[in-house]
Structures are given as structure tokens and as C-alpha cells.
Structure 1
């Protein structure tokens, strides 16, 4: 899988999320409180709501519609109604750019 130049690191603040669309798919890139970057599928697995409108705290993202929670590091669904895990994608920072390894 190729590494894709997705965003500038400064595009997303600490403990925040940004939507990233690539090849007709929606993803989110999240910056952790540890200044690490993570990428997951951009839609909640419960009702396909955009997670970019969700709240990020610590290592979790909350769906803005029904408050399902996911661990964005692993994609694991942590609170109902979300019960299906999110897909996650490898990220890396090179200089001031964030790259994502997507299929």
C-alpha cells in the first residue's frame, strides 16, 4: 500500500480531528494529547455519521449523533450504540507533513 501525503501537521490541533477524503472514501486524522497522529475510517460504524464532527478526548473519539465512543488508536468500539470497530490506518510524520498508508 502506498503512503499518501494527507495533511500538514499544523492542520489539526492537539486532541482534535480533521476530515480527510481520498479516492471516494472518508477518513479522519486525529492528533493525540501525546502529539501522535492516527487515522481511522471517517464514518461511525453505527449510522455512518461523520466522525470529524465528533469530540476527541484523551485517546477516544465520540460520535456526534448517538455518543458511541471509539479508541482511535485501535479502532475498538468502547460504548454502545457503536459495536463494530473502526478500520485504522498506519500514519507517519515526515517534516511537517502527515502521511497515511491506505489501500
Structure 2
């Protein structure tokens, strides 16, 4: 069995795909979530196996949080999903302010 370690962007894409949309507003989903998810996928394709820069990581986390907002994800789930991603890649210190705001 191969030990697959997902990339940072792959983990973010997984969180987007696996987080239910609790918002009945399909227009908001089309206008906000889909373009943000496309941007993350585009970055993933551009970077291939390279590591994202600090600026790209910050952009992706901002997009992810916006997606969670539009999908009306509960704060506890937002924090859990974000914490899981950040801890996997050792990025918690970079986003302490965001993590503490999701309580």
C-alpha cells in the first residue's frame, strides 16, 4: 500500500468538497463558492508538486473561510476543518488570530 500524503491545496480542496452547503441561495453558491474553488484548483495546477508561497497560503485560507461563510458552515466545523489542515502542515502559528476568532 502506498502512503499518500495530500498536498496543502489538496487538503483544502477536500475540505471544500466534503463540507455540506447549508445555504439555500444557489446564486450565492454560483457567484462565490465556485469561483473561489476554481481559483484554488488553478493554483494547485500551477504549483504542481511545488510548495505554495506564504502569500498563496494566505490567499487560499481566505478563500476557504469565505467558502465556509457562503456555505453557512457552523463555527465549530469551520474551526475543526481549518485546524486539521493547518496542523497537518505546521501552519497554526501563521493563523492563530483566525483560529481564535472561530470560537
Shorter-chain TM range is: under 0.3
Which structure carries more relative contact order (alpha carbon 8 Å, separation 6+)? 2
TM-score after normalising by structure 1: 0.27
Bigger share in strand: 1
Structure (1 or 2) with the larger CA radius of gyration: 2
